[in-house]
Structure 1
């Protein structure tokens, strides 16, 4: 059986197409103009396109062309991506004056597995306290995907699920994704409604649960802490323009009692940049920058603390 083959010349030609050109030709419904020469996509609002390059800030990956985008973001096999760029039929609007909004994918949670053993094992292996894992399962904010055994972290609008992010438990590769149709405004938050005037903000759900575990390790009542996952971050646009993350803006709207925001974003360049931008955009609130003392994020910091505790016990 012969394997599919594409000449080098065609691959080189495919690499020449930048992402902005590709989206304009083949997926115009995905393109969102943010101002100036900066664009994003409807599916991934933290993916920014500018000056011939693109960067998906919430996942910290980027590229220079459409081929990189299709393989790294959309997960299209390399040869299929080349053929799509070179041979696909452009999906152009029926008429230039067409302005009807693109219909959003209907949101539906993945089916649940009969139990949550893989999810529990995975998160416990990441250092999350069993009490906190069980709390999230009991409230319906966490469960195991019945088909792929992913962790499903659910965000609610009142009692209605409106958002879900996925985290792989079986693959060696760190799979992360969102359920189609998810509304980023209603991201994962513990508890479901703020009980105090302070909210701690994280880039992902696992970091939020890691922080709660650290509080438990310190002997503090983790039930009293308000934690919100932003489901990713993005940088300010050209000229310093910055839009408050949708999840945080909605959380503050739904919880007007919150007056203090503790930013617990990652200890990397995107996380530090986002912290500065959020702090500058929320002048009406008391904003505290509180990155992890060690490690890249709060889950890494948690695991560092736990290893140190085990070493101390071994020496005792």
Structure 2
């Protein structure tokens, strides 16, 4: 259905700082007149006329254009004019005129405190969370467990999965995972505590370490009594310092089960971690195991489930 011209003009005037934030990006003040993005330093938002220019790519324009170009970084559907317009219309109907810039005026600095994590707005439901994780062969029992504990929810504006880890009930680590499997989209936050990463404490003396949170969920799926273990997803082979921090902070842990990807990076990671553990925590037992099939534990879970379905 063709959109009303008046509505289109309103959508063009949606506050670009507001829009950037809700697309999952971080506005950073450059001066009283300009903002850039933490994720793209060649992207400039001009406060005096509420327009943007992406110098490295030659893109510029209003909120609709920004939605198509910047939103396309998150989800390729935004590259469609109609999809972006529908997205902005929903945003406008939810927020109404408080996100429309008619009389241009200076904005307050929306750059977050480097010590504070600002969580993305949750959707009204978690349908996309359940759909994505079911498709990766994670059971409703495990998904429910994560949702109940506020460890995962659906981003209201992008539909991404938002994973949150807490320390003393305060969020200290947040990452988003895109719902389109082929794109492998992952966004982390600059205020994340990488000494903590994504950690689940069941009060166990045994810690299971994975590279990705969905791999963690897959290990739980493959484990008879998953609550017998603590879990840590380091989210990258370079962020393994969190393993040693948790061992320092929790002297109950007597064994570490390394369950990372079966590739060159995963093998090198295990070598580094095992060497360091033996030096710094000689009393801690180490066990290394790779998925019997496939590269990572989620792919292995999918393989096993599909094999059972065929048999």
Give the shorter-chain TM-score range: 0.5 to 0.7
Alignment check: 8 A CA contact 2:211 2:235 kept: yes
Measure, in 2, the Cα distance between the counterparts of 1:162 and 1:304. Answer: 33
- Residue 221 of structure 1 and its aligned partner are, at CA, apart by 1.4
TM-score by length of 2: 0.61
Alignment check: 8 A CA contact 2:114 2:190 kept: no
TM-score by length of 1: 0.61
Equivalent residue number for residue 133 of structure 1: 143
Measure, in 1, the Cα distance between the counterparts of 2:41 and 2:305. Answer: 35
- The 3 A distance-change label for structure 1 pair 250 and 158 is farther
Equivalent residue number for residue 294 of structure 1: 293
Count of residues paired in the alignment: 207
Comparing 172-181 with 125-134, which one deviates more in the overlay?
Answer: 172-181
- Does residue 195 of structure 1 match 2:203? yes
- Does residue 233 of structure 1 match 2:241? no
Alignment check: 8 A CA contact 2:202 2:227 kept: no
The 5 A counterparts of 1:195-274 are 195-215=203-223, 220-234=224-238, 245-274=240-269
Specify the SS of the correspondent of 1:81: coil
Measure, in 2, the Cα distance between the counterparts of 1:148 and 1:118. Answer: 10
The 5 A counterparts of 1:24-103 are 80-81=55-56
Q: Residues 219-275 of structure 1: CA distance to partner in whole angstroms, max 9, x if unpaired?
A: x112222221012112xxxxxxxxx72321232233210010010010010000000
Measure, in 1, the Cα distance between the counterparts of 2:188 and 2:308. Answer: 35
Structure with greater contact order relative to length (CA < 8 Å, sep ≥ 6): 1
Measure, in 1, the Cα distance between the counterparts of 2:180 and 2:249. Answer: 36
Measure, in 2, the Cα distance between the counterparts of 1:167 and 1:260. Answer: 29
Measure, in 2, the Cα distance between the counterparts of 1:155 and 1:250. Answer: 15
- Residue 76 of structure 1 and its aligned partner are, at CA, apart by 6.8
- The 3 A distance-change label for structure 1 pair 124 and 181 is same
Equivalent residue number for residue 114 of structure 1: 124
- Residue 172 of structure 1 and its aligned partner are, at CA, apart by 4.6
Alignment check: 8 A CA contact 1:204 1:232 kept: yes
Alignment check: 8 A CA contact 2:205 2:229 kept: no
Alignment check: 8 A CA contact 1:164 1:179 kept: yes
Measure, in 2, the Cα distance between the counterparts of 1:224 and 1:260. Answer: 12
Measure, in 2, the Cα distance between the counterparts of 1:137 and 1:276. Answer: 34
Equivalent residue number for residue 304 of structure 1: 303
Measure, in 2, the Cα distance between the counterparts of 1:221 and 1:280. Answer: 29
Specify the SS of the correspondent of 1:300: helix
User: Which runs of 5 or more structure 2 residues have no equivalent in the other structure?
Assistant: 1-38, 44-53, 59-112
Measure, in 2, the Cα distance between the counterparts of 1:256 and 1:306. Answer: 37
- The 3 A distance-change label for structure 1 pair 133 and 76 is farther
